[in-house]
Structure 1
């Protein structure tokens, strides 16, 4: 219908429809679709987590017995192995002897002395330090079971301060020691002997050095290629064995060094390497 002026008449005053409105709404819906999808996924994840937490069994409760068991397991895992020293001592002690000597000096003055030794074979051979029996008229050996025997000197090695004794028959309980080999600085060692006459004494330490020079106080003799160790030894230990962790004799204790000239131990002990005694056994076999 047209108005009198010829212009088209508007129906109900309504605007004519916009032909571009439909595509614009579709574009807006497409832009909102991705955020809504992400939000829905997040909400679904939260829901799944809440369900899992509700259904998961509660953590186990430790009883006092559980705590005690765990503590015992931890203590057992850090507990060190039993020390080997007692076993080594028990192995070597039956072969270690106390040596008592007596004699007279050049001016007819009587003297006596004590030292240690170690049985080295089943025939009654005993290795000791030469200065222990030097000048003696009588040599008596007392074994770990209290049995005593007279001994005679059958071999000497003055350049190494070593002597080999012989007794007629060993007590049944006596076992010869096992002779070992070389040692290295830091190796643990035991010294077994009779310091001040205290039979069967044992001390432990390490090899402090090799190839040392040592002067024997009793004779003034200088010995070469000695083992230095810090296991405590004192007068009476001379001639006794220096032993490794396997119970093998690696040296024969010769004496101590003390710059104060007192005959007491200050951490410097010296022993003749056992390899030096190999030739001394020849007369016995």
Structure 2
């Protein structure tokens, strides 16, 4: 009986094992062996989009955050610029002129509505003004006179012109509230034509006047008194000159007087001369008249309050 010999085993670890010789010989160098699976395909070259994507992916996150903030701010500014209201129109010369005219008109209205200086001065002095009535004997006959005065102290002291009360047997003062009282001469200063009176009875409320000074030529002044019996009258003028000297009845000489052009007549004597604040700056003492008439012709005189106050015993201001 014949013995069959098995073919030799194939070494699977050797290169090319299990592959027919022909197949090994025909395969090009580096080619995959037959039966070893699909061969890997080479990657295609990068395009521009792939390269850009990789670059963007390499950018840090904080850069993207900053860019987002910048874009949001830019968008907000753009929206504001588009939606904001239009700015004011450019100012023209006509606009300027119109504004100036309106301002002047408003100022004129305010000045017209404001009280006049004379009104304020009168309101300030009214509670302190008094009417002085005198009786006496002249050339064997009864005489009566009147003048003005002003309360200058809390004790009721009245300052007036000496010639208003000189030679009188009785003196009566009437206060602004209607109170009347007999009065006596407390002091006199003939060289300045100044006297002070002490009333026997005072009103319930005594309102002393406020005293002032420092006048200059051209300053507005107001004379308040009772000219020709017209009680509580005010006239307005300006200071015409200072430090005047005049001669009066009895060959007396009055010095350092204030000359003014506010109208004064008999009945104004002894009354206050006021500045625009209503402060007493002088006491009316006389008027200049080249005729025999005792009427005002444009020049009045007043004793400065500094001199008159000295005649009243140094009135406190």
Contact 2:182–2:201 at 8 Å: present in 1 too? Answer: no
Equivalent-residue separation in structure 1 for 2:272 and 2:244 (angstroms):
18
For structure 1, list consecutive stretches of 5 or more residues without a partner in the other structure.
Answer: 1-58, 61-67
Does the alignment pair 1:76 with 2:135? no
Q: CA RMSD in A?
A: 2.6
Give the one of 88, 93, 113 matched to 2:121. 88
Give the one of 234, 250, 253 matched to 1:222. 253
Contact 1:98–1:116 at 8 Å: present in 2 too? Answer: yes
Give the one of 230, 250, 261 matched to 1:198. 230
Specify the SS of the correspondent of 2:312.
helix
Q: TM-score, normalised by structure 2?
A: 0.64
* Residues 282/213 of structure 1: CA separation in 2 closer, same or farther (3 Å cut): closer
* Residues 245/284 of structure 1: CA separation in 2 closer, same or farther (3 Å cut): closer
Alignment of 1:43-192 (within 5 A): 73-79=103-109, 81=111, 82=114, 83-105=116-138, 107-192=139-224
Deviations 1:57-80 (A, max 9, x none): xx99xxxxxxx9997654113446
Equivalent-residue separation in structure 2 for 1:236 and 1:202 (angstroms):
12
Contact 1:122–1:170 at 8 Å: present in 2 too? Answer: no
Equivalent-residue separation in structure 1 for 2:118 and 2:163 (angstroms):
29
Q: Which moved more, 1:139-148 or 1:74-83?
A: 74-83
- Matched residues, number: 220
For structure 2, list consecutive stretches of 5 or more residues without a partner in the other structure.
Answer: 1-88, 91-97
Counterpart in 1 of 2:48?
Answer: none
Equivalent-residue separation in structure 1 for 2:101 and 2:214 (angstroms):
43
Counterpart in 1 of 2:84?
Answer: none
Rg comparison, structure with higher value = 2
Does the alignment pair 1:275 with 2:314? no
Counterpart in 2 of 1:37?
Answer: none
Counterpart in 2 of 1:256?
Answer: 287
How far 1:215 moved relative to its partner? 2.6
Contact 1:178–1:248 at 8 Å: present in 2 too? Answer: yes
How far 1:260 moved relative to its partner? 2.2
Contact 1:116–1:236 at 8 Å: present in 2 too? Answer: yes
How far 1:173 moved relative to its partner? 4.2
Counterpart in 2 of 1:232?
Answer: 263
